[in-house]
């Protein structure tokens, strides 16, 4: 009987052998691994930007126009007529996560990891771009390599900056890996796929003092506690029960010692809603509660509500139904109708202005998004390049 160490060594050898075979069959798997080595936080994706540019410059340049801004890259593939522009967006940033996968291509950047699959997204985008660089379509295709999806809404930054003005898509598409779907599966829905998010940051300022003389102080721990209790009534009493909203306060900081009344407290959290209207309602109710707490506890509260570009991801009907109809009939694809989830994505900022759709790509990982052991199956890369490429080609050739 083999010892445990021998079994582990054997399993590792099989993994490496299988991995080498996959890389030989599809170079974009190797690209994914090279990108996985160098994850970077949003707006700091300098190595990632340089790597992407090196690969883009290797392509046939006859039909390409390349534009850069900070770490963002836009590549336009000129069509034969080019009256419309079909957009494809991929995010390029990583997360502040310490990787625990123990893969041979584990992150070399300490405390950074592609734990949300953006390395997969980039390799798929490069695969699509590689194909279209030598297969001209009727309409233009624009590939947007976007920074800072995870932290400061790169979508809003580059859109509002005017960076896309000369390359503005008439319709736009994107995917996101989904660990709990098998490889070979694509899924989406018409309407809201992901929630919009809004960050909450609150500071309470009163008067601190000795625990023995509460009447001479103004206790901000009590004020913050009342705020915490009251804010939870927004969902239960201000939101239509047939609609969705979540309010979570994730951090609280106050006080320095058990016998000192704290004159300061701070809270941070998030609001997640399925429509922009519901986001406005919940934000207004938070503001109302703040005013009430200020009057009740004779304190000053500084409230910051920041939605940035994390609007709800609302898939437009025409473009999404074209995608669904195509994928449900396509051989080799398992299509699944998806529900709405409370995760956030700044792709919603594009969809607020441009019709299009976002969809899930199954990658069959035992660990979920943002987990330090998230390990998507790389077979999803050639699958996505083939089938998503077919869809984009049909759209850009006006066959769908």
**Based on the number of CB atoms within 10 Å of its own CB, is 144 exposed (0-12), middle (13-18) or buried (19 or more)?**
buried
State the catalytic residue, choosing from 45, 99, 119, 150.
150
CA distance 197 to 387: 31
CA distance 310 to 349: 6
User: Are the C-beta atoms of 29 and 378 separated by less than 8 Å?
Assistant: yes
Q: What is the Cα 300 distance to its own chain's centre?
A: 35
Any catalytic annotation for residue 45? Answer: no
Any catalytic annotation for residue 119? Answer: no
Helix (H, G, I), strand (E, B) or coil at 181: coil
State the catalytic residue, choosing from 91, 119, 149, 171.
91
CA distance 76 to 95: 28
CA distance 122 to 199: 27
Q: Which residues contact 82 (CB under 8 A, 6 or more apart)?
A: 138, 139, 140
Task: Tell me whether strands 356-362 and 185-188 are parallel, antiparallel or unpaired.
Answer: antiparallel
Query: Which of 114, 128, 123 minimizes the C-alpha distance to 372?
Result: 114
Q: Which residues contact 260 (CB under 8 A, 6 or more apart)?
A: 208, 209, 210, 211
Q: Which residues contact 390 (CB under 8 A, 6 or more apart)?
A: 330
Instruction: Give the active site residues.
Output: 91, 150
């Amino acid at each position: 009987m083999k010892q445990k160490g021998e079994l582990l060594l054997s399993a590792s050898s099989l993994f490496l052998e299988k991995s080498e075979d996959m890389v030989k069959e599809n170079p974009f798997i190797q690209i994914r691994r090279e990108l996985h080595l160098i994850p970077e936080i949003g707006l700091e994706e300098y190595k990632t930007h340089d790597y992407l540019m090196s690969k883009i410059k290797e392509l046939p340049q006859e039909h390409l126009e390349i534009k850069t801004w900070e770490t963002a890259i836009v590549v336009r593939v000129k069509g034969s007529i080019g009256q419309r522009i079909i957009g494809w967006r991929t995010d390029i940033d990583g997360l502040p996560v310490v990787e625990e996968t123990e893969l041979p291509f584990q992150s070399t950047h300490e405390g950074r990891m592609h734990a949300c699959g953006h390395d997969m997204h980039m390799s798929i985008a490069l695969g699509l771009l590689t194909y279209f660089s030598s297969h001209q379509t009727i309409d233009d295709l624009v590939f947007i390599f976007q920074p800072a999806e995870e932290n400061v809404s790169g979508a809003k930054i580059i859109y509002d900056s005017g960076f896309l003005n000369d390359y503005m898509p008439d319709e736009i598409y994107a995917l996101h890996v989904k660990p709990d779907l098998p490889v070979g599966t694509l899924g989406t829905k018409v309407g809201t796929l992901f929630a919009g998010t809004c960050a909450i940051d609150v500071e309470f300022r009163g008067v601190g003092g000795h625990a023995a003389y509460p009447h001479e102080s103004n206790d901000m721990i009590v004020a913050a506690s009342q705020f915490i209790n009251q804010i939870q009534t927004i969902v239960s009493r201000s939101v239509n029960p047939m609609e969705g909203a979540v309010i979570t306060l994730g951090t609280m900081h106050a006080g320095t010692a058990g016998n000192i009344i704290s004159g300061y407290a701070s809270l941070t959290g998030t609001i997640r809603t399925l429509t922009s209207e519901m986001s406005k309602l919940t934000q207004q109710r938070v503001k109302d509660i703040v005013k009430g707490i200020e009057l009740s506890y004779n304190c000053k509260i500084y409230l910051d509500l920041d939605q940035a570009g994390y609007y709800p991801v609302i898939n437009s009907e025409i473009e999404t139904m074209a995608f669904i109809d195509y994928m449900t009939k396509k051989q080799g694809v398992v299509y699944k109708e998806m529900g709405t989830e409370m995760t956030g994505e700044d792709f919603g900022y594009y969809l607020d202005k441009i019709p299009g759709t976002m969809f899930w790509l199954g990658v069959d990982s035992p660990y979920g998004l943002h987990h330090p052991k998230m390990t998507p199956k790389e077979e999803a890369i050639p699958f996505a390049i083939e089938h998503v490429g077919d869809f984009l080609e049909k759209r850009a050739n006006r066959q769908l």
